[in-house]
Amino acid sequence: MSATVRLLKPIALPFLLIAAGMLGITLLPALPRASPASFTLFGRILPPAGWGAMTTTVTSPGPDLTVLPGETVTISLTSDDGISHNWGVDYNGNGVSDPGEPLSSNFGSTAIPFTFTATTTPGTYTYWCFIHKGPMFGKFIVSPPGPDYSVSSNPSSLQILQGASANSTISITSLNNFAGSVTLSSSSSSPPGLLTSSFSVNPIMVPQSGTAKSNFTITVPAGTSPASYSITVTAKNSTTFSHSATVTVTVVIPDFKIALSSSSLTVAPGSSENVTVTLTSLNGFSGTVSLTSTLTSPGPQVTFSPISVTLSPGGTVSSTLSVSAASSGAYSTPVPLGNYNVNVTGTSGSLVHSATLALTIGSSSGAGALPTLAIVGVGIASAVAIVVAGVYFLRRRSKPKT
């Protein structure tokens, strides 16, 4: 008489073993299984024949192998007696290996891995060495998964301002008719106490075939360094089930950005042109931004209207930047022709952002200097003509009459 024991609670095990010995029952434990489905088997046809998880535990029948329907199974196979063996599963019970049924290649004293996909049909099947059937067999059990649950977070990533809070919904979903109480806990990749969190419902009761939810609130203390942090939410019931989900928190600070309506501008000598400066609130920023400009070399005149703007959270405001190439000074000095860079800077407290405007004084074709040169040439020619005429006139007046 034989029986298979698959799950033995630590307290009941000694009493069960004593009772089995008194009744003459052989207890054949299932082979220890890694996750997902990974086993080790040693096979031998010489006495003691059979299969075992170790060379010292070879029995006939061999240990039970229990897997999930459709699961990928990997078995490390070794001959324990130096004789060539193989390993396969007989799904239809006809005692032979048929096409489509798992069958390894022959193996010897050097271990080989054998990987296959289990059938999706639950049931208890037989595995064999099809070279030496006899005592080299055991049970291959395809068992539906037991009750379980899954954990998810929505959203799974949050942006939170310093000194603010945000929420993520933690959902516990029943799998395979699970029903019961689940306790939630959290741990953060940040230094202890840097981020705080709480659950609106904890523990949480999960209904059979249903979903239970708890609101997960994360608080970022003021002064927390801007960075990304990972928070792991673990859901554990009173048995051995423990599953988790991750919430990524990015700590941000209120800020603003600055942009120009054009990255380049051409201004003709003696005229002026405008560019729009746009400032946008980021992460709830509010406050006054002052505008300034610097040029790579003096010459053009740059002004703002207005010179400072006030941003509200999520808002956008604009200022007009004017560039003048008009002559200036007591002697009406013209603005030198050429290329300039105008650095436009917005400042609010410790926040400073800038944008660059490529400025050309002249024409975009590079011929902007020609009008001025022509005027200068005409002026010089006129001056020379006047001087020559004056000299000629004076000489004629000073010449004695005969």
Average pLDDT over residues 236-260: 92
- CA gap 251, 224 in Å, rounded: 7
Pick the CATH number of 148-252 from 2.60.40.10, 3.40.50.10710, 3.10.590.10, 1.10.8.100: 2.60.40.10
What is the pLDDT averaged over residues 307-321?
Answer: 97
For the cut 60, the answer to whether the pLDDT of residue 19 exceeds it is no
- Quick check: do 31-142 and 255-361 share a fold? yes
Domain-wise residue ranges, the chain: 31-142, 148-252, 255-361
Report, as an integer, the average pLDDT of 374-389: 51
Among 3.40.1710.10, 3.40.50.300, 2.60.40.420, 2.20.25.90, name the CATH number for the domain at 31-142. Answer: 2.60.40.420
pLDDT band at 328; cut points 50, 70, 90:
low
In the 3-class helix/strand/coil scheme, how is the chain assigned residue by residue? CEEEECCCCCCCHHHHHHHHHHHCCEEEECCCCECCEEEEEEEECCCCCEEECCHHHCECCCCCEEECCCCEEEEEEEECCCCCECCEEECCCCCCCCCCCCECCCECCCCEEEEEECCCCCEEEEEECCCCCCCCEEEEEECCCCCEEEEEEECCEEEEECCCEEEEEEEEEEECCCCEEEEEEEEECCCCCCCEEEECCCCEEECCCCEEEEEEEEECCCCCCCCEEEEEEEEECCCCCEEEEEEEEEEECCEEEEEECCCEEEECCCCEEEEEEEEEEECCCCEEEEEEEEECCCCCEEEEECCEEEECCCCEEEEEEEEECCCECCCCECCCCEEEEEEEEEEECCEEEEEEEEEEECCCCCCCCHHHHHHHHHHHHHHHHHHHHHHHHHHHHHCCCC
Residue 8 is predicted with a pLDDT of: 33
pTM over 0.75: no
Quote the pLDDT of residue 389. 57
Percent of the chain exceeding pLDDT 90 equals 71
pLDDT grade, residue 189 (50/70/90)?
Answer: confident
101: alpha, beta or left? (left if phi > 0; alpha if psi -120 to 50)? beta
- CATH code at 255-361: 2.60.40.10
pLDDT tens profile 146-163: 899 999 999 999 999 988
Q: For 54-96, how does the pLDDT look when each residue is reduced to its tens digit (9 = 90+)?
A: 999 999 999 999 999 999 999 999 999 999 999 999 999 999 9
